[in-house]
Amino acid sequence: MMDGRLRATKHGRVNEKGSEVAIEPFRTAYIPRPSDMVIGYVEGCTNNIWFIDIGAPFNAILPMSLGPGKAAFGGTRSILDIGEAVLCRVQEVEETHSSVVTMKGLGLRKIRSGNIEQVDPHLLGRLIGKGGKALSQLKEDTGCRIIVADNGRVWVDGEFDSIITVRDRLQAMSDDAKSTGVDA
């Protein structure tokens, strides 16, 4: 409260419930937590480490020991090259907010097909719906395989027209949230 006026530090929609006032932000940043499933892009590599952009303030590291396969020392680019997309899991987050990801686990892999869309992380609840119903319905309507990662990236694979339909619905959901407020 400044000069008798309420000031917000984030740009968003005002929600009033009784005597409480809250701001639902239009955009949020992804903050990684251990066990989050994320979609990332390889941004660089050294002899035994890949640097992965997971949409967080700092890149994550993927050590060769937690990577998708065995490579000789210095052969990281033969396994994952710069620009490639990966489905991985956050293993740990350090006090400095840097994180370590792993590709050891069921379903974690290099993404070779489909399309990756971006949704603000605070809209994921709206996309998934209660009990996963909205996401299941979207999959059923389009026949696409869809993976929603905790960092707001969505992998969509299927027929070209179906991928476009999913992209349009994601955009409509985002636009609707900005005009009516977020109810997730």
Mean pLDDT, each 10-residue run in order, the chain (184 residues): 71 80 77 96 94 94 91 84 97 90 96 94 82 90 95 96 94 76 48
d(CA 59, CA 142): 33
What pLDDT, on a 0 to 100 scale, did the predictor assign at position 44?
A: 95
What pLDDT, on a 0 to 100 scale, did the predictor assign at position 1?
A: 57
User: Which of 127, 152, 147, 156 minimizes the C-alpha distance to 56?
Assistant: 152
Domains for the chain: give ranges and CATH numbers: 37-111 (2.40.50.140), 115-180 (3.30.1370.10)
Task: Give the residues across from 117 on adjacent strands.
Answer: 154
What pLDDT, on a 0 to 100 scale, did the predictor assign at position 64?
A: 92
Question: Residue written as tokens 């059923």?
Answer: 140
Assign 3-class secondary structure to 43-79: EEECCCEEEEECCCCCCEEEEHHHCCCCCCCCCHHHH
What pLDDT, on a 0 to 100 scale, did the predictor assign at position 28?
A: 75
| Residues in Cβ contact with 11 at an 8 Å cutoff, skipping those fewer than 6 apart | 25, 26, 27
- φ/ψ (deg, to 5) at 179: -95, -30
d(CA 89, CA 86): 10
What pLDDT, on a 0 to 100 scale, did the predictor assign at position 184?
A: 45
What pLDDT, on a 0 to 100 scale, did the predictor assign at position 70?
A: 80
What pLDDT, on a 0 to 100 scale, did the predictor assign at position 76?
A: 87
What pLDDT, on a 0 to 100 scale, did the predictor assign at position 174?
A: 80
What pLDDT, on a 0 to 100 scale, did the predictor assign at position 144?
A: 96
What pLDDT, on a 0 to 100 scale, did the predictor assign at position 60?
A: 96
Structure pTM? 0.83
How does 100-124 read in b/e, with b if 16+ C-beta sit within 10 Å? bbbbeeeebebbeebbbbebbbbbb
